Structure formats: C-alpha cells, structure tokens
Structure 1
C-alpha cells in the first residue's frame, strides 16, 4: 500500500514565488488542510496494527505536512529524502514569479524531455529518474506500507511509474493526472496482483468526517 499526500498550501503559493526547490513553509490554511488529512487518516488507521513508513521530501512544506500526519498517527520516525523534492528549478528557486520570467528558457515544444527551463535546473527526464530511482532504492513498493508526503510533480512521477509508464511513454500518450494541495492518492497491489489506483487526488477531507476507506480496498496478501 502506498499513500501519497501532497503538502498543503504553502507560502510560495500566497507570496507568488516560484515553486520547485523554493523552500517555502505551510500557510495557516495549509496547516488546517493537513490537520484534516491527518484526522481522516487516523480514522482509517484506528485499530490497525500495520507497520507504516512515512517518507517525505526534505523541503519544509512537505516535512511540516508529514509531521502533522505522523503526530496524529502516533508515529515518531520520519524519513526525509532529497530525491522526493519537486522538480529542481535551479536559479529560479526563491524568486518571485515575475523575476523568474527573466531566467525562463522557452522549450521548442511542450513535449521536450531534455530541456532545462531554468539555468541549473533539471530536465523532465532527470526529474522523473531522480524520483523513481530514489524510491526504488529506498523501499519495496509492492510489499511495504508507505505514506509518502511530497509535491505535485513528484507524486505524478510515482503514479506514472506505478502504472508502468516511463516519462517517454507518458509524453507519447499525452497523459497526466491532477494532484491538488493536501490531496490523497492510494496505490496498491490488488488481489489479482495488479498495480491498482484505489484513490486519486482525493480532497474529501476538506468536506466530510469519514475516512478514506483505505482498508476496504481489495489488496493482495502483502497488505
């Protein structure tokens, strides 16, 4: 089982800074969003004795989000990793969106995999490889229960990999998924040994008091 949580609203959203490796923090609203996530996850995990690793991007907005969830679930250990960061925006990190425009290097097309939008930044291919290769080295995706707190692009890359798509295939298929702030996505192996997406971009915690139904899905025997 893999639970993917995007960090909540962050100061780069409200202060009109670039995202990427800008080390922004949660806003007051972002903290409320993550408390709602944590409360709903706690309903799912109540009475469960399953081991759960919490992995997080080491950027402040993600680590802070992960700490909120971990505290509510009674888990003391967090595992922060640089490989879970958002796409590296190089020299644009920390700049306003207006200032970053002066550094932006327009790609020839919207389908470039080896283009750097900003000096010192990553290409789309490098970003995907960093996320996926780091995660494969760090965890057994099919046998461990993981809660990963990260960023929109990172979560998208993990989902693509889970579906068996490398970034070139994603490009050819013209495929994407939306991942909103504080959203929850649940992946797992089902009883037919298939890679399943049980929930995608779920923000129902902002509207209801029930759990996500995480343990109602038809997982295989490892979960």
Structure 2
C-alpha cells in the first residue's frame, strides 16, 4: 500500500507564523501555486481512496490535486489540525505576552498540557493514531491524505514505533508530499518531497 500525505498549501496565517488549527482559512497565492506543483508531481498516480481534513485549506489543496477526476472524497475530522484554543490566530510573541502562565505550562509539558480552550497533544495524537490504524486495515494500492503539518508529523511518530518524541525531529512544509509504504506488515517513510524550491 502507498499512502501519500500532502500538507496543504500556504495560507497568510502560515506566512505570518501564527498558531492556528481550527481557524478555517483559504490558501494564499503561494499556497495555490504549491498545490498546483503537488498536482503535477502526483498526476500519474491513480488514487483508490482520498481522505481530506475538514478545513478549507486542505479541501482547496485536494481539489487542485484531483481536479474533477475523483468522485468520492472522504472528509475526516480526525485529520484536522490541532485545536490551539485561545492561542489561535496569534504569534509566539503575542501568546507569551497575553497568556504567560498558560504558555509556560504548555512549554514545560507540551504533551499533556493544552492551550486554554484547546486540546492537548495527547488528545490530538490519539485521533491521529486511530485514523492511521483504520487506514492500515484498508485493502488499497494508493491512498491520498491531504491534511496539516501537525497531523503529518504525528503520523511520523506513529510510524516510528508510536514514539511522540519524534514530533520535533521532522519538518513538514506547505505542499510537501510524503510517501509512506505499508508492505509485509511493515510501515515506513519512503520519501519526503518539497514541491516549493
């Protein structure tokens, strides 16, 4: 099985380095260009199944990649980005200034603490793990998953023996394409391609 993860194209919030997960925003011009490059890279792959986050930026990216060639897209909220609660739409500097105590707790225990009104990484990861377990039960050749950087990095943690400490050991850039293979009960990262050079 070939599992293709694509991170959505850039948004203005990415460009401004804001924390955002639940905010539903569209791709900017650069993001549209990244999605078109991902589409060109993947144009020869025949997908048997497609899963997309609920967020507009992911849906837009998937629409560009697939064109009108795919009938059924599975919108799955389990692969929405992490909910940052009151930290949403704010920069690192703004959060430190507005929520110094909560920011400090979150930084000292990023797995278990959650931003005010948001979700903890453990909560977030549990839905990604459940999603991955369901994907591995499918009998498909090529699966496309269009989602977010935090989701993809969490999928890497799942692949690397369910070790959450790997979350900070990988980047996931806008438009990146990761090919994960599942063969003989072995799950591994085959390649990571940056479409934006």
Of 59, 65, 79, the residue aligned with 2:74 is 79
Q: CA deviation at 1:135?
A: 4.1
The answer (yes or no) to whether the contact 1:67–1:78 under 8 Å persists in 2 is: no
Q: CA deviation at 1:160?
A: 1.6
Q: Which runs of 5+ in 2 are unaligned?
A: none
Q: Which residue of 2 aligns with 1:149?
A: 146
Q: Give runs of aligned pairs for residues 13-162 of structure 1, distance below 5 A.
A: 13-15=14-16, 17-42=18-43, 44-45=44-45, 50-71=46-67, 74-93=69-88, 95-97=89-91, 99-101=94-96, 102-103=98-99, 105=102, 106-107=104-105, 110-116=108-114, 118-137=115-134, 139-140=135-136, 143-144=139-140, 145-162=142-159
Distance (whole Å) between structure 1 residues aligned to residue 76 and residue 34 of structure 2: 23
Q: CA deviation at 1:143?
A: 3.3
* Count of equivalent residues: 191
Distance (whole Å) between structure 2 residues aligned to residue 136 and residue 62 of structure 1: 21
Instruction: Specify which structure has the bigger relative contact order, considering alpha-carbon pairs within 8 angstroms and separated by 6 or more residues.
Output: 2
Q: CA deviation at 1:65?
A: 0.5
Q: Which runs of 5+ in 1 are unaligned?
A: 208-223
What are the Cα deviations for residues 185-222 of structure 1, in whole angstroms up to 9, with x where unaligned? Answer: 001124x542221102x11x345xxxxxxxxxxxxxxx
The answer (yes or no) to whether the contact 1:7–1:151 under 8 Å persists in 2 is: yes
Q: CA deviation at 1:16?
A: 5.2
The answer (yes or no) to whether the contact 1:2–1:141 under 8 Å persists in 2 is: no
Over 3 Å counting, the alpha-carbon distance change for 1:170 and 1:76 in structure 2 is same
Over 3 Å counting, the alpha-carbon distance change for 1:76 and 1:174 in structure 2 is closer
Q: CA deviation at 1:175?
A: 5.7
After TM superposition, the score normalised by the length of structure 2 is 0.84
Q: Which residue of 2 aligns with 1:177?
A: 170
Q: Tell me which structure has the larger Cα radius of gyration.
A: 1
